[in-house]
Amino acid sequence: MALLAHQQGAKLDLDDINYVALRAYGAARGNRVSFNELNRQTGVVAVQGDLMPVLVSFGDPLDPTTARLVAGDHVEAVLGDGYALRGLTAETVPNGLWPIDFGGALGEPVTRGIETKLPWLAAPGDPAATALKIAGLPLGGAIVAREAFARK
């Protein structure tokens, strides 16, 4: 799964919903793309290097202690022989009449349905922090670990 986060050295930054697309279109154009310009971007763009979100795999999705960091250049170390990350792309698509969309007045979370795939997210305590720690991802500051897995 791709977390809504980027690792910048010893810091984990939680991304806004459009972070990947904003940065990818900016890199493709050679200059910064503002949020207001994002809806005018067209086509598919490559997401490479530092723009790649953090990838995590779970040996058992029902158990946060089985989290493993998937390094983009060493995917086979976690997923097994024959697996590789060939690329990641971003493409903007119409999202209805935001914020009044299919998800209601505030839109729908990009991580819709994640609790069915990772039911421990709703468990007491902070299982999301456990998963990030087990995967070797830095925690600190005002980060709410759950937001790396589920946020708007």
pLDDT tens figures, 33-79: 887 887 788 888 888 877 788 888 899 999 999 999 888 778 888 88
Q: What's residue 62's pLDDT? A: 93
The candidate with the shortest Cα–Cα distance to 15, out of 45, 51, 63, 64, is 51
Tens-place pLDDT, residues 94-122: 655 444 445 444 455 556 778 888 999 88
Residue 96 and residue 105 in contact, taking contact as beta carbons nearer than 8 Å: no
Least confident of 32-36, 88-92, 97-101, 133-137: 97-101
Across the strands, what pairs with 45?
90
Alpha helices (runs of H) in the chain, residue ranges in sequence order: 19-29, 35-38, 75-79, 114-117, 127-134
